[in-house]
Structure 1
């Protein structure tokens, strides 16, 4: 796809962007008065301290707002938009009582289109510019999701949720129907929006997928170079169900491994109850794990040990996991990740949490060279956030961003330098 050429544009404001620190961890670059120049292809051409006359052309002055990379949500469920706060957990009970009845409604394209508009609006208002999304098992609803993402101008990776067993009949789609439907959606949407949209192979989880379905899905992913997203080891009961349905596998991860779904382009959500062998294998193949702490707290699923991933250099993304997650706002997820770490005796610096929600997640989903920070050469996906006037300097900004997000308002969002959201008071 070709990107339309536009005149260069420039923005002025305070600026905060993540940096990878030597020896691990994270740092930030902060400029109290910055000029961010976007070239005609939507890439960042220049990030420098502001100086009069440095750019020949109009400059949009967004001060006192802070320019920062847009947030990236690596795990969110579109059909669960309207069941946020449905406290009917634990996981398997919650799916049965709250999620599956709602997902049945997405067989109606009109309903799916309505909720898709709500879904994208909520993402935009939260400062999320990139999302990795589970749709429903209905191809029509998935088509409506992609249409809404395209209209909103968001960067999105989404997939038809695959389920052919252990789910309500209305949601069950046999593999000889689901795979052709997924293939059609790949042809229609993968690479659409000048490359902003991608299709992901999306088995819900091993307990609801037959081996033939997963093997066919893995072949489709390989044929088109698609990202794979699924769930793993969110609860002990779910892990037991996976082993019961697939006794030929040595453990939960081995189910995905043997059918060909475990690759360097696989996102595994949760990963709370993984064995050392499973962690070692994830590291060996180069898969990534998506940490969903707010959801884990709400459903009582357990607490992921980030140390297990970090000890093996497994990439970790951050996800809201709406609707078990209670907010689309990735700042809520950052704060919950801090609380989760405290439960394990660790204290994560706000800079680490900011890095994870931006550059770290971009790295984990394979977009780290494209987005995630405000560095020259990357595509200009950024947001402008207004903080209270008394909040000064990088340290105070990060503290408010992560721990007091209600004091920081997302004013504007941009994708490739193009405005896609403006806050209406």
Structure 2
């Protein structure tokens, strides 16, 4: 028997990027949603006639630009309050600004800041995020509680460190406690909220982890079917220190490969200074890369060779990476992904600069593939779950559009406006599984005051 529940119809300019470099668009389009999934996408006139006998609740706006929900595959919850702090490079910056901040991310701070962080993500149009917390079990646990209330898709994990850690445990106890706590968090939260929440084992990077910790994290991720997230080859000094510390390994990537950390479930932040051998290893193992250009520029880490990674067959998505990145704004990251490759092209004419359509793919379908969800979210293919971001054209145009002939703007024009001028001021609404996250947040706020 067919459901009598009214369908939801969103009308506007509908845009997605199901393949790298391929833009699909309907200038006066519609997305029809039923039972949390995409029922159909196409022109408004055609779909309106086709579904006329069915009850459809229409949200219509001539200023709406409708995209698949944006996916942030690398960011740090505890660090957000210290954005734009410090001007050193990676290792100095971590010790002077980030570790002191994370040291205080304990207890109820996880709940308070978690709720604000998830709200800020949705304000920026993000519907799915992969997130690191600090080294503490209690704040990570409470952050998961906040994530469950947010309605978002969240992949998150307690940061694991047993070398040079900022915690108060005796060094000989750090490893066993980190493994025990991460396993407890995984057992409690992985697959919760009807599958919207997932756990990620999160060894920080090779300089902060013993070989035993890395091997154990890899084994637990395999046992529980979880993601692994870590950092690789972000900064030249970091790479050189890893070379000395792990002198029996071929290179930084070899350290992770020997520990069993590389596989289709692995998200590697940055990967700026890789050799061709390392690229081949990532492609062969199926490990993916989180490209974080705003963060890389802020810390003078370098510019990731995007085209070379893609040509090697490596899956790539985008990350805001706060607090090195300044905002939880994936439109800003898309813009930086284009502009940073332009900067490379000034000295190397062989560099291919990505288009707005290509960076949109990295923030949607490409990122979904990184997370193993390419057949679930990331585009408007019928049957996929309805994770959607709606942008406001009037907020993107100078003077609110009063001096622009809006009907002459093509879908490519509208996408470029989002990439170059997009941000929270221009986000109209976000949906996960067809549910408006604005409604989720209003309901949660109402319940909190009852």
- TM-score normalised per structure 2: 0.88
* CA–CA separation in structure 2 for the residues paired with 1:224 and 1:358: 26
Q: Does 1:142 align with 2:144?
A: no
Tell me by how many angstroms 1:34 deviates. 2.5
* CA–CA separation in structure 1 for the residues paired with 2:150 and 2:423: 24
Q: Which residue of 2 aligns with 1:67?
A: 66
* CA–CA separation in structure 2 for the residues paired with 1:401 and 1:19: 14
| Pair 267,406 (structure 1): closer, same or farther in 2 beyond 3 Å | closer
Greater C-alpha Rg: 2
CA contact (8 A) 1:79 1:103 kept: yes
Q: Which residue of 2 aligns with 1:369?
A: 375
Q: Deviations over 1:19-53 (max 9, x none)?
A: 345xxx4222221222322222x111111222345
Matches within 5 A, 1:243-282: 243-282=243-282
* CA–CA separation in structure 2 for the residues paired with 1:407 and 1:33: 24
CA contact (8 A) 1:231 1:268 kept: yes
Tell me by how many angstroms 1:18 deviates. 2.5
Q: Which residue of 1 aligns with 2:92?
A: 93
Q: Which residue of 2 aligns with 1:357?
A: 363
CA contact (8 A) 2:332 2:423 kept: no
| Pair 8,369 (structure 1): closer, same or farther in 2 beyond 3 Å | farther
* CA–CA separation in structure 2 for the residues paired with 1:33 and 1:220: 48
* CA–CA separation in structure 2 for the residues paired with 1:400 and 1:9: 30
CA contact (8 A) 2:137 2:182 kept: yes
Q: Does 1:39 align with 2:34?
A: yes
Which stretch shifts more, 194-203 or 244-253?
Answer: 244-253
Q: Deviations over 1:297-326 (max 9, x none)?
A: 000001111122122111111101011001
Matches within 5 A, 1:220-259: 220-259=220-259
- Show structure 1 runs of 5+ residues with no match: none
Q: Which residue of 1 aligns with 2:104?
A: 105
| Pair 252,153 (structure 1): closer, same or farther in 2 beyond 3 Å | same
Q: Which residue of 2 aligns with 1:300?
A: 300
* CA–CA separation in structure 2 for the residues paired with 1:379 and 1:407: 23
Q: Does 1:396 align with 2:394?
A: no
* CA–CA separation in structure 2 for the residues paired with 1:79 and 1:366: 26
CA contact (8 A) 1:205 1:230 kept: yes
Counterpart secondary structure, 2:364: helix
* CA–CA separation in structure 2 for the residues paired with 1:182 and 1:357: 28
* CA–CA separation in structure 2 for the residues paired with 1:332 and 1:258: 36
Tell me by how many angstroms 1:418 deviates. 0.6
* CA–CA separation in structure 1 for the residues paired with 2:371 and 2:338: 22
Tell me by how many angstroms 1:406 deviates. 5.2
CA contact (8 A) 2:124 2:423 kept: no
Paired residue for 1:347, among 328, 343, 353?
A: 353
* CA–CA separation in structure 1 for the residues paired with 2:7 and 2:244: 57
* CA–CA separation in structure 2 for the residues paired with 1:10 and 1:384: 14
Q: Which residue of 2 aligns with 1:49?
A: 43
RMSD (Å), alpha carbons:
1.9
* CA–CA separation in structure 1 for the residues paired with 2:264 and 2:424: 39
Q: Deviations over 1:271-318 (max 9, x none)?
A: 011111111111111111111000000000011111221221111111
Q: Deviations over 1:121-169 (max 9, x none)?
A: 1101000000000111101111111111111100010111100012324
Tell me by how many angstroms 1:120 deviates. 0.8
Aligned residues: 415
| Pair 94,421 (structure 1): closer, same or farther in 2 beyond 3 Å | same
Paired residue for 1:127, among 125, 128, 140?
A: 125
Tell me by how many angstroms 1:247 deviates. 2.5
| Pair 6,176 (structure 1): closer, same or farther in 2 beyond 3 Å | farther
Counterpart secondary structure, 1:249: coil
Q: Which residue of 2 aligns with 1:417?
A: 434
Which stretch shifts more, 399-408 or 285-294?
Answer: 399-408
Counterpart secondary structure, 1:170: coil
Tell me by how many angstroms 1:266 deviates. 0.9
Q: Deviations over 1:254-278 (max 9, x none)?
A: 1111111111211111001111111
Which stretch shifts more, 159-168 or 72-81?
Answer: 159-168
